[in-house]
């Protein structure tokens, strides 16, 4: 936790400023795996142009660096399944009628299977020692995982949410988090989609109606706010 920052931090955001206690806030990096971001993985097997997701890497590196330096808890997630696929619904395997789908061997190993090269997080955003890496079988990060328990144990009440894809795993996680009482700040340039229009509307759905699911801002706005709170640390 960012234990020695004792004051609340206010970030310019939509629909209005996001105020958080740095001691009770974590950075969530969702599914920045080769399977979604690099050619040959699950994302491409689904018919997507995976290069569209690269734009999040650089701003996310900046946020990771600053939040690590300021002492925030960082949690990474990975979507994927046990090698025996016992935790994968048959409906998920069948969906899309893919010629090379979940559990099949692709250019980066077995698609969306834990332990394969493609399932792991990209080198540019590699987790550091001590940062929890949470394996999740679903789109949401709370479903069938111990994320809620982990956050409870660290007294986390607010989440800075990043990763891919905006309208699938990010949105599902934000909705699940919101129902559990967490306040979510989504960084628009650190979340990405294969579909620009879905990205835009997913963010609009989060911040509409007074922030029905949470808040949206940019990496730059968040970094400025953290820098104001802890200027000597960067
Ligand atoms: N297909 C798609 O957009 N996303 C996923 O399948 N998983 C995540 O978003 N991580």
**C-alpha–C-alpha distance, residues 205 and 186, integer Å:** 12
- pLDDT for res 54: 97
- pLDDT for res 24: 98
139 near 177, Cβ under 8 Å? Answer: no
- pLDDT for res 5: 82
- pLDDT for res 6: 80
- Weakly modelled stretches of the chain, pLDDT under 70: 1, 3, 232-234
Backbone angles phi, psi at 84, to 5 degrees: -85, 0
Per-residue pLDDT tens over the stretch 153-180: 999 999 999 999 999 999 999 999 999 9
Cβ–ligand 1 distance for 169 under 6 Å, the answer yes
Cβ–ligand 1 distance for 35 under 6 Å, the answer no
Which of 37, 164, 194 should be mutated for ligand 1, with most atoms under 8 A from CB?
164
Residue 28 to residues 90, 144, 146: CA-CA distances in angstroms?
A: 28, 17, 14
Q: Indicate the helix (H) or strand (E) that contains 20.
A: strand 18-20
Tokens standing for residue 181 = 């009482």
- pLDDT for res 234: 43
Average pLDDT, the chain: 96
Please list, residue by residue across 143-178, b when 16 or more beta carbons sit within 10 angstroms of its beta carbon and e when fewer do. Answer: eebebbeebeeeebbbbbbbbbbbbbbbbbbbbbbb
Treating both helix axes as pointing N-terminal to C-terminal, what angle do 219-229 and 57-69 enclose, rounded to 10 degrees? 20
Which of 29, 79, 161 should be mutated for ligand 1, with most atoms under 8 A from CB?
79
């Amino acid at each position: 936790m960012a234990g020695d920052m004792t004051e609340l931090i206010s970030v310019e955001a939509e629909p209005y400023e996001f105020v958080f206690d740095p001691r009770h806030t974590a950075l969530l990096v969702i599914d920045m795996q080769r399977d979604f971001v690099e050619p040959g993985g699950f994302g491409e097997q689904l018919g997507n142009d995976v290069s569209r997701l690269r734009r999040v890497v650089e701003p996310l590196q900046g946020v990771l660096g600053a939040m690590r330096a300021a002492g925030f808890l960082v949690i990474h997630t990975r979507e994927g399944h046990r090698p025996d696929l016992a935790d994968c619904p048959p409906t998920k395997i069948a969906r899309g009628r893919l010629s090379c789908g979940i559990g099949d061997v692709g250019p980066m190993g077995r698609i969306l299977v834990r332990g394969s090269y493609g399932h792991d997080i990209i080198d540019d955003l590699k987790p550091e020692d001590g940062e929890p890496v949470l394996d999740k079988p679903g789109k949401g990060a709370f479903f069938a995982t111990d994320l809620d328990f982990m956050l409870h144990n660290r007294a986390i009440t607010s989440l800075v949410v990043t990763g891919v894809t905006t309208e699938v795993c990010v949105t599902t996680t934000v909705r699940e988090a919101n129902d559990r009482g967490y306040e979510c700040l989504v960084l628009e340039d650190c979340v990405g989609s294969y579909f620009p229009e879905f990205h835009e509307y997913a963010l609009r759905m989060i911040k509409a109606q007074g922030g029905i699911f949470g808040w949206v801002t940019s990496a730059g706005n968040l970094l400025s706010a953290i820098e104001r709170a802890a200027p000597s640390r960067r």
